[in-house]
Chains A and B, each alone.
Chain A
Amino acid sequence: QQPVQSPQAVILREGEDAVINCSSSKALYSVHWYRQKHGEAPVFLMILLKGGEQKGHEKISASFNEKKQQSSLYLTASQLSYSGTYFCGTQTDSWGKLQFGAGTQVVVTP
């Protein structure tokens, strides 16, 4: 089952913050986050394992709430380079294949 991402799109000004959510109908083993710039390949940001840990990449961080079966990606003090489409990928067990969400398009303007 494909995870659900929200919002579908967000427009920010430089320096603003945003939150992207990724929800699953099944219990999760792990959550991956990737960013894809227009016309390019998706690039890995971070993996979160069950246990509620929080990780960071530059000023981008994420949390994993096992009970709620969801993960949130936090874009803090956004930069122009943060523009792109963010995908979450979820695993329901250790060898479950990643199921990717439909993506959240982020546009950061000057």
Chain B
Amino acid sequence: NAGVTQTPKFQVLKTGQSMTLQCAQDMNHNSMYWYRQDPGMGLRLIYYSASEGTTDKGEVPNGYNVSRLNKREFSLRLESAAPSQTSVYFCASSETRQAKSTNEKLFFGSGTQLSVL
């Protein structure tokens, strides 16, 4: 079982460049999430998708866009990268069947380490 797969694992960008982080899950989960992890800050939610065709902002959405391409895939795009976006990015998914969460556990991908110079 692959679980949640993220690509790439590492990326270095110059300020102003754009890129897309890819995420796919093979667990038939309805909900998918993008988090960023910074030292001393824990995990902060960027965007999430409760179901195919819907996306919503999390705590720190500025500078990012997302696409829920289908039930399996949820991508995160940086249109014009800034040094403040240097971070480790995690994609996660959960089973959550209803609009109201029933406290489903999150399954995380292995992360993307992004550096913006």
Contacts and interface: CB of A to CB of B under 8 A. Distances in A.
A91 B83 CA distance: 30
Interface residue tally on B, bucketed by range: 20 to 34
A102 B42 contact: yes
Interface in A64-94: 87, 89, 91, 94
B58 A97 contact: yes
B102 A94 contact: yes
Given A87-B43, A100-B42, A44 B105 contact: yes
A94 B100 contact: yes
Contacts of A96: 101
B101 to A, nearest CB: 5
A40 to B, nearest CB: 7
B19 to A, nearest CB: 20
B48 A41 contact: no
A89 B107 CA distance: 14
Given A41-B111, A42-B90, A42-B108, A47 B103 contact: yes
Interface of B is mostly: loop
Interface in A11-52: 30, 32, 34, 40-44, 47, 49
Interface in B64-117: 90, 99-103, 105-111
Interface residues of A, number: 24
B45 A103 contact: no
Contacts of A89: 43
Interface of B: 4, 40-45, 48, 58-59, 90, 99-103, 105-111
11 contacts: A32-B106, A34-B106, A41-B4, A41-B109, A42-B43, A42-B90, A42-B108, A49-B103, A94-B103, A96-B101, A101-B42
